[in-house]
Chain A
Amino acid sequence: MDLNVNIAGVILKNPVMPASGTYECNSIHDNIFSPDEPGAIVSKTIFINSREGNAPPRICETPCGMLNSIGIPTAGVNNFIRDRLPVLAGFGVPVVISIAGNSLEDFCKLAGIIESTGKADLLELNLSCPNLHHGIEWARDKNELYRVIKRVKEVTNLPVIAKLSPSVTDISEMSLIAESAGADAVALINTYKGMKIDINKRKPFLGNIAGGLSGPAIHPLAVYAVYSSFTKISIPIIGTGGIASWVDAVEMILAGAAAVGIGMYNFVNPLIMREVISGIEAYLKDNNFDSITEITGIAHL
C-alpha cells in the first residue's frame, strides 16, 4: 500500500502528522509511541524571544472538546535551535517548524534563521493562534495574510505552509489568497476562538479569558473548511481539526486533504497517530485502492 504523500516536494511516508503544539517528541513517550512513526513531525510554534505562556487556568473541557489558552510558552529561537531542533531532526522523518511573530520582520527573520540550520524541511506560518495578541489577525485580514506570506516566500527557499484561522467569513477565500501569495500548502484549521464562564465565580474560566476550541466538536467544521477550499486551490491542504479516529482522518482526505494533522486527541490517546495511520491503510485495502492519493478529494466527484 502506498501511503506516500507529497507536500510541496517533501515526501511523507504517510499522511499523518501532529498539529503544532500537541506532541513534543519527548522521550517520555518512549514506551508508547515513537516520533519516527508519523509522516512528519511539527514543532511547537517558535518565536524570536522566549515566552512564558498565559496565566492559568489554561485549559477547560467542553462538550467533545477543549478550550486552551496556553499562549505558546517557548524558549525562543536560539535555544530552540541549540536544544530541540537537533532532536527533532534526528528521527529520520521530515521536520515542520512552526513559526510566529508580532511583525512581518519577525516572520522573515525566523524563516532565515530556521533555513540556515539546514535541519527543517517545511516551514509552517502560524498566522492563526487565537491566544496571541496579533495571532489570529494575520489570517483574518486579507491584505496582511497576503503580505506576510509573500514576504516570507521572498526570503526563504523552504516550502511554506500557511496555517489559517476558521474565524473568518469564508476560509476558502483565505486559502486562495495564501496560494496567490506563494504558499506551498495550507493547514486548515487552527482552533476557534471561544470562552467558558464559571457561573459560581461569575467570571471567565480561563486565565486569559478566551481560548481556542479544539477536539471532535470542531471536526465537521474543519471538514467543511477543507472541502470548500479544495476546489479553489491547487496547493495541498493539511486537514487539521478534531480528528479523533482514522474515520475522521479518511473523511478529511476525501474532502480534499493531502495529509492530516492530529491535534488535541494526542492528549486523549497518545497512540492516536499510529491508529490513524493503520486505519487509513486498512480502509484503502478494504476498498481496493492502491495509494492514498487516489482518494484525495474524491468526495467532490
Chain B
Amino acid sequence: MKIKNNLIKPFLTEGRIKARKNEYTGYLDLLIENDKIAEHAMPGQFVMVRGWNSNDPILSRPFDIVQVDPANGLFRLVIKITGEGTGLLNVLRSGSRLVITGPLGNPVEVPHGEKIVLLVRGVGAAAVVYLAESAKNAGTEVYTFLSASAKNRLVCRDYLKNASKDLNIITDDGSDGYHGDARDILERFINKSKPDRIYTCGSGRFARFADEQDRKGLIKGFVFLESHMACGMGDCHGCAVKKRDSGGYYLVCKDGPVFPVNSVELD
C-alpha cells in the first residue's frame, strides 16, 4: 500500500494564508499559498505547521492535507481548535505567514474503478477529502458516512458531498441526518453494496467496525491515524502505535499515517 520510490522529500517552506473561514463550530478552514505543497502533496499526507514565533507552544502541529490546487499553488487545511497551538492559528488573518514542513508521511494508494466507503467523524473528515476526490477522479464510487456531535460540526461536509456518490449524515443529537449509533445503517449498506475498501478516521468505533468487516475477508479496511508528534520525520519516535500481531511499534509519521486496519492495535 505504500508508494515510496518516487516520493518527494519534504520541504521546509513558508506559506501565506490566502483565505480563512470558521464555517463549522470549533473548526478553522485555511486556504494556504505554497507551490511546493500544492504540487507535490498526495492523498494521505500531512504537514507540520507553526504560525507563531515564540517557543511556547514549542511544537509545530500536524494536519492532514485536505485539498490541493497545483494550478494556483494553493492547498487547504481544516483544523480543529483544541488548544494553544490551534488557538494561535485561529487568530491569524489572511496574509499571515506560516512555517510548513511537508509533505510528510506515506501517500495512500488511490483505488481505481472500485467502490469505497469512508467512515469519518469530527476532524477525521479532513483526512479523507483528498482521497475521496482523487478516487472519484479515478473512476471509483465513493460512499461517505460523516458523523459529528451536531449539525454545526459536520466539518468538510461540502467537500465530501462533491466527491461522494452518496453522503450520509449521522449526528449524536439528531440535528441532521441519522440520529445516534449508525451501526445498523452501515451494516445494511455494506451487505447491499459490497464495497471493496473501507477507510476510517476520527472514531475508535468506526475503526473497530472497519476491522470487523475486514476480518470477514471481503472488504479491506484502512485507518487514518493521528498522534502526538514532535517532528513528523521519524526522528523523535514520539508517534508510536502498537503493531497488532508482532512486537513493537509503528511510527505514525514514517510508517503511516494510513495503516491497514488489521495491522495496528485499535484504542
Contacts and interface: CB of A to CB of B under 8 A. Distances in A.
Given A22-B235, A215-B55, A267-B236, A59 B12 contact: no
Contact of B234 (A26, A70, A215, A269): A26
A212 interface: no
Given A52-B247, A53-B237, A61 B12 contact: no
Given A29-B233, A59-B228, A70 B238 contact: yes
Given A30-B9, A32-B10, A52-B248, A66 B233 contact: no
A29 to B, nearest CB: 7
Interface string A9-27: 0000000000001111011
A268 B228 contact: no
B178 interface: no
A116 to B, nearest CB: 28
Contacts, number: 105
B38 to A, nearest CB: 16
Nearest to A44: B237
Nearest to A54: B240
B167 interface: no
At the interface, is chain B mostly helix, strand, loop or mixed? loop
Interface string A36-47: 000000000000
B231 A267 contact: yes
B139 interface: no
A163 B144 CA distance: 53
Contact of A32 (B11, B60, B240, B249): B11
B92 interface: no
Interface residues of A, number: 37
A268 B52 CA distance: 12
Contacts of A98: none
A53 B240 contact: yes
B59 to A, nearest CB: 5
Nearest to B99: A269
Contacts of A22: 235-236
Interface string A66-102: 1010100100000000000000000000000000000
Nearest to A216: B55
B11 A31 contact: yes
B101 interface: yes
A32 B10 CA distance: 8
A31 B10 contact: yes
Interface centre among B8, B55, B233 (most CB of A within 10 A): B55
B156 interface: no
A264 interface: yes
A31 B237 contact: no
B55 A64 contact: yes
10 contacts: A22-B236, A26-B233, A53-B240, A53-B249, A58-B228, A58-B238, A64-B56, A66-B230, A70-B237, A267-B236
Interface of B: 8-12, 50, 55-60, 101, 227-231, 233-242, 247-249, 254
Interface of A: 21-24, 26-32, 52-53, 55-61, 63-66, 68, 70, 73, 215-216, 244, 264, 266-271
Given A52-B247, A59-B238, 12 more contacts: A22-B236, A31-B9, A58-B238, A60-B228, A61-B228, A64-B58, A68-B230, A266-B231, A266-B235, A267-B230, A268-B59, A269-B12
